[in-house]
Chain A
Amino acid sequence: MSTVTDKVPVFAGLAPLPEAKGRAGFGGALRSEWTKIRSVKSTLWTLAAAIVIGVGISALGNWGQSSHTTETAVELAHKDLVQRTMFGIILGQLVMVVFGALAVTAEYSTGMIRTSLSAQPRRLNVFFAKLVIVTLVAFVVGEIISFASFFIGAHFWATKGVTLTLSTHGALQAVIGGGLYLVGAALLAFGIGAALRHTAGAITLGVALLFVINIITNFMPTSWQNDIDKWLPYNAGSQVWATQHVADVGTSFSAWSGFGVYMGYAVIALILGLWVFERRDA
């Protein structure tokens, strides 16, 4: 601890600060949010867990399916094996929900939001800087998961005589789409987190919307399912990491319109979150 002397010249030994230039703005907010993300171990562990779970489940699933299938290469070629290689996204998305929610709720649960907002009281800067950083980080992690899953899965299917490469019909778009889908999961949770300001609540609602709701609709009458199913976030969003769409039957969206619907949910959550973030007492 510091030594106590009588009359302390407070800033003795401290270099004077350069003159303030410009106002605390968006650039500073971006640098600040990047530091926040990278300087907490729990965030880094969450991202590592997303990769391990996403890629790991994909690998296990494709290893299992490829070694037990009785179908011939010709039959398999009619299946959407590209999407199947990224099977782990179904669980990986849940970890991305945790990442997206924590990026904002951790500030409230620790009380540091008040420190953050007294340094940068223009809240839109803080919100959008955080949003940009979360999006970029989720994109990188999401693409790692989808590309790694694809290449590992392709390796297993090659043993069955099916060749999957990025130039396979629709594959490149689907694999990029897998990463984008994970970005959407993080953003949905980010918006919910900003609106609820509560970690457990935000994660629960995020997981419910992306996962549990699909299980519940299975118990509904078939006629309802036909109307509702394609609008569910997971069903709509997963079209972007598929190479086969049943749009002609009228039950499914195309890749990008499905992704649009899916991102629509995220945007609604983000608008709600932004409104609460900007308006409510911190």
Chain B
Amino acid sequence: MIEVRDLVKRYGDTTAVDHLSFAVEPGRITGFLGPNGAGKSTTMRLILGLDRPSSGSALIDGLPYRDLRDPLRYVGALLEARAVHGGRSAFNHLLYLAQTQGVPKRRVSEVLELVGLSGVAKKRTKGFSLGMGQRLGIAAALLGDPKILILDEPVNGLDPEGVLWVRQLLKALAGEGRTIFVSSHLMNEMAVTADHLIVIGRGKLQADMPVGQFIAQFSDTAVLVRTPEAEALRAAAGERGWTVADTDLDGALIVTGSTAPEIGELAAARGLVLHELTPQRASLEEAYMELTRETGEFAHRPAPAWGGADGRA
């Protein structure tokens, strides 16, 4: 378990982390969410003992990170994708880490195999793509078979296949009872990956709750519908007590108070043609942005902003 207690980090006049307290429990994925510059990376560096807090503490199972006997065997960390020397091979990068605490050499080859980098193990990391760099960082984090993983934006720069791979990996690791603390600035990524969310904005805690609760609390159930028979659909939806709004996307409607299956079934029952039926998460992303922008306005629910750039944010 990771425990952050009243943690403060100031850089001159700037307060990067502002009296932050939370706990990260084992056996689940805790998403650490906030826009760029919210203080996520600083908090992670403080947990890892890389930076000294101005006040407060961050403990790993009750101990400061510096007092862990064999940190790699206990905590695996991915900080930035490029915290490697480009002139060193992937294998040697992991080897010098392994050697600090007697992790056997074959383990290096094993984790490289696990992340799919065996073929480039002897290559210098200078030529690695961002995605390969991330995989190497994940390999380093898994090197000591740690019970706690701290990952800063692990899907940054990964292609869709890589994103899915990380998501599955994290779920499997959490399923083994490990503590997973993963940061992201993308709400939608966290909504499908995390079990629990810790949201910060400007260094302050904005939300600490299960993902389901966050979604229920902050998202409208809204569905975007395109149909050539808009008036008939509007009338039918009205009978059910659903709200139908126009959008500035030509001809598209937004139905709230219902779900996509319900609308589809209603249309089928009435013989209405549908061209599109898309559940909307726009308000969840909006809620998150509002939450992190206006600190302290936790309970504030923003007005839905339909028909933005692509309506899905």
A residues whose Cβ falls under 8 Å from a Cβ of B: 1-2, 4, 6-11, 13-18, 20-24, 28-29, 31-33, 35-36, 39-42, 106-107, 110-122, 281-282
Closest B residue to A27 using CB positions = B102
Asked whether A20 lies within 8 Å of B172 as measured between CB atoms, the reply is no
Q: A11-B145, A23-B69 are in contact. Are A115 and B111 (CB under 8 A)?
A: no
Interface assignment of B7: CB less than 8 Å from any CB of chain A: no
**Selected contact of A4 from candidates B83, B102, B164, CB within 8 Å:** B164
Q: How far is the CA of A114 from the CA of B84 in the complex (A)?
A: 9
**Selected contact of A20 from candidates B70, B93, B106, CB within 8 Å:** B70
Q: How far is the CA of A29 from the CA of B86 in the complex (A)?
A: 21
**Number of A-B residue pairs having CB atoms within 8 Å of each other in the complex:** 158
Asked whether A24 lies within 8 Å of B101 as measured between CB atoms, the reply is yes
Asked whether B65 lies within 8 Å of A121 as measured between CB atoms, the reply is yes
9 pairs of residues in contact across A and B, judged by CB atoms under 8 Å: A2-B165, A10-B173, A17-B73, A24-B71, A115-B97, A117-B48, A119-B97, A120-B71, A281-B50
Asked whether B52 lies within 8 Å of A7 as measured between CB atoms, the reply is no
Asked whether A21 lies within 8 Å of B102 as measured between CB atoms, the reply is yes
Asked whether B96 lies within 8 Å of A35 as measured between CB atoms, the reply is yes
**Selected contact of B83 from candidates A7, A17, A29, A110, CB within 8 Å:** A110
Q: How far is the CB of A134 from chain B (nearest CB, A)?
A: 15
Asked whether B79 lies within 8 Å of A114 as measured between CB atoms, the reply is yes
Asked whether B95 lies within 8 Å of A35 as measured between CB atoms, the reply is yes
Q: How far is the CA of A29 from the CA of B70 in the complex (A)?
A: 12
Q: How far is the CA of A59 from the CA of B70 in the complex (A)?
A: 50
B86: A residues at CB distance < 8 A: 110
Q: How far is the CB of A120 from chain B (nearest CB, A)?
A: 5
Q: A2-B114, A40-B85, A112-B85 are in contact. Are A120 and B173 (CB under 8 A)?
A: no
A8: B residues at CB distance < 8 A: 168-169, 172
Q: How far is the CA of A6 from the CA of B80 in the complex (A)?
A: 27
Q: How many residues of B contact A (CB 8 A)?
A: 60
A29: B residues at CB distance < 8 A: 100
B116: A residues at CB distance < 8 A: 1-2
Q: A17-B107, A17-B144 are in contact. Are A118 and B48 (CB under 8 A)?
A: yes
Q: How far is the CB of B4 from chain A (nearest CB, A)?
A: 17
Most buried by B among A42, A107, A111, A112: A112
Closest B residue to A18 using CB positions = B104
Q: How far is the CB of B277 from chain A (nearest CB, A)?
A: 27
Q: How far is the CA of A39 from the CA of B104 in the complex (A)?
A: 18
Asked whether A114 lies within 8 Å of B144 as measured between CB atoms, the reply is no
B residues whose Cβ falls under 8 Å from a Cβ of A: 45, 48-52, 65-66, 68-73, 75, 77, 79-80, 82-89, 92-93, 95-97, 99-104, 106-107, 110-111, 113-116, 124, 135, 140, 142, 144-145, 161-162, 164-165, 168-169, 172-173, 176
Asked whether B97 lies within 8 Å of A114 as measured between CB atoms, the reply is no
Given pairs A14-B107, A39-B96, A120-B101, 12 additional interface contacts (CB within 8 A): A1-B116, A2-B116, A4-B164, A10-B142, A15-B107, A32-B99, A111-B79, A115-B93, A115-B97, A118-B49, A118-B79, A282-B51
Q: A40-B88, A110-B85 are in contact. Are A14 and B71 (CB under 8 A)?
A: no
A28: B residues at CB distance < 8 A: 99-102
Asked whether A13 lies within 8 Å of B69 as measured between CB atoms, the reply is no
Asked whether B69 lies within 8 Å of A281 as measured between CB atoms, the reply is no
B79: A residues at CB distance < 8 A: 111, 114-115, 118
Q: How far is the CA of A110 from the CA of B126 in the complex (A)?
A: 11
Q: A4-B165, A112-B84 are in contact. Are A121 and B96 (CB under 8 A)?
A: no
Q: A17-B144, A20-B101, A281-B50 are in contact. Are A114 and B45 (CB under 8 A)?
A: yes
Which 3 pairs show the lowest CB-CB distances between chains A and B?
A: A2-B116, A39-B92, A23-B69
**Selected contact of B69 from candidates A20, A42, A117, CB within 8 Å:** A20
Q: How far is the CB of B17 from chain A (nearest CB, A)?
A: 12
A282: B residues at CB distance < 8 A: 45, 50-51
Asked whether A121 lies within 8 Å of B66 as measured between CB atoms, the reply is yes
Asked whether B77 lies within 8 Å of A118 as measured between CB atoms, the reply is yes
B144: A residues at CB distance < 8 A: 17
Closest B residue to A7 using CB positions = B172
Q: How far is the CA of A118 from the CA of B77 in the complex (A)?
A: 7
Q: How far is the CB of B170 from chain A (nearest CB, A)?
A: 9
Q: A23-B69, A122-B66 are in contact. Are A32 and B97 (CB under 8 A)?
A: yes
B89: A residues at CB distance < 8 A: 39
B95: A residues at CB distance < 8 A: 35, 39
Q: How far is the CB of A32 from chain B (nearest CB, A)?
A: 4
Q: How far is the CA of A13 from the CA of B114 in the complex (A)?
A: 9
Q: How far is the CA of A107 from the CA of B93 in the complex (A)?
A: 12
B145: A residues at CB distance < 8 A: 11, 14, 16-17
Q: How far is the CA of A8 from the CA of B69 in the complex (A)?
A: 30
Q: How far is the CA of A20 from the CA of B115 in the complex (A)?
A: 23
Q: How far is the CA of A31 from the CA of B157 in the complex (A)?
A: 33
Asked whether A35 lies within 8 Å of B92 as measured between CB atoms, the reply is yes
B80: A residues at CB distance < 8 A: 111, 114
Q: How far is the CA of A195 from the CA of B120 in the complex (A)?
A: 35
A16: B residues at CB distance < 8 A: 145
B102: A residues at CB distance < 8 A: 20-22, 28
Q: How far is the CA of A1 from the CA of B168 in the complex (A)?
A: 15
